[in-house]
Amino acid sequence: MPKQVRGLSVYRSTIERLPKFRLLSGPLTDDQAATLGFDHVPVAGVSIVPSAEGPATFFNARGKVIIRNDLPMITKSRSINTSWKDWHGSTHHGTQTRSYEAYPREHIAPPGEFLTAVEANGGIAMATRVINRTEPEETIANLLNIYLECFPHFEIVDPNLAVPVRIQKMNWRILPPGKFPFERAMQVLDSYLEQLTESDRVVAKSRIQTITRQEPDFMAIGLGGFSEYIVFGFTRRRRYVFESPETGNATYIFRNEWETVSQLTKREILQEKLQETRIIHTPRWAIEVSEAIQRQ
């Protein structure tokens, strides 16, 4: 079986016989469930955007960036962990934000396809939504590539053979309520930040410390395809800060109840239409985040 397809490939003849269909994996193993972003094999009805583990799931979860070297360069900023000497010759260590010239980047929003656990012969399997044969070929190919990447084998089935029960999206792990000072937040996030380089981890901790100084009383960690986001909530102010520890991502601040915010798709988060504020990592980032959280 190919690992990637550009079009419908060997699946075309099967797809063209079915007006509508689903992709259906074999019985889910513990390892496969963990790769998708679950803590364990889910019950029927639980739905998730798969974790970004390879080219297909990365594009599905995070989209892609096109470097526009046909356009003039622009000034961008990047926070780094570094050391420097002051004019007395003393060495200091910390986070600095530096400017540099780069070509503009065009972000292609992620499809954000969910997979849903369904009852199947032999246990729990993962099914797509109902796919219409007339959908764009690239949309169908994207789903085929996700399955080729995530499962050793799968089937193309009549949609009535893999009917999900009531769907429950699993995008976030909500921590027990209470105050989240820096120390408590890091107890949860230390292992979460291990994926970063040492330098990026120091920068991420510095940002988290800035946010937690404002005394959040709510915290959620992204699961599966949302795993690059941490959410800090300030419920009395009705502010929710989406922070990504990964280099190059902006901070998003929403002014909504959490139930509304939690149902946003990745596309809605990234397309900059529903948030109150989007703050990029410039030297003024800490000031702008603090002001946005405190704003009446």
Over the stretch 134-170, which tens digit does the pLDDT of each residue have? Answer: 999 999 999 999 999 999 999 999 998 888 888 888 8
Instruction: Please check whether residues 141 and 240 belong to one and the same domain.
Output: no
Instruction: Please check whether residues 20 and 116 belong to one and the same domain.
Output: yes
Reduced to 3 states (helix: H, G, I; strand: E, B; else coil), residue 105 is strand
Q: Which residue has the higher pLDDT, 44 or 88?
A: 44
Lowest-confidence segment of 76-85, 104-113, 283-292 by average pLDDT: 76-85
Instruction: Please check whether residues 153 and 227 belong to one and the same domain.
Output: no
Instruction: Confirm whether 138 is domain-assigned.
Output: yes
Q: What domain count does the chain have?
A: 2
Whose CA is closest to 241, among 199, 207, 205? 207
Instruction: Please check whether residues 190 and 272 belong to one and the same domain.
Output: yes
Instruction: Please check whether residues 153 and 237 belong to one and the same domain.
Output: no
Instruction: Confirm whether 86 is domain-assigned.
Output: no
CA distances from 52 to 6, 118, 204 (A): 19, 22, 20
Instruction: Please check whether residues 226 and 258 belong to one and the same domain.
Output: yes
pTM for this structure?
0.82
Averaged pLDDT for residues 282-295 = 90
Instruction: Please check whether residues 180 and 198 belong to one and the same domain.
Output: yes
Domain boundary among 119, 153, 169: 169
User: Alpha-carbon distance 283 to 85, whole Å?
Assistant: 19
Instruction: Please check whether residues 124 and 186 belong to one and the same domain.
Output: no
Domain with 28, as residue range(s), is 9-63+109-169
Check residue 213 and give its pLDDT: 95
Instruction: Please check whether residues 177 and 289 belong to one and the same domain.
Output: yes
9: which strand partners? none
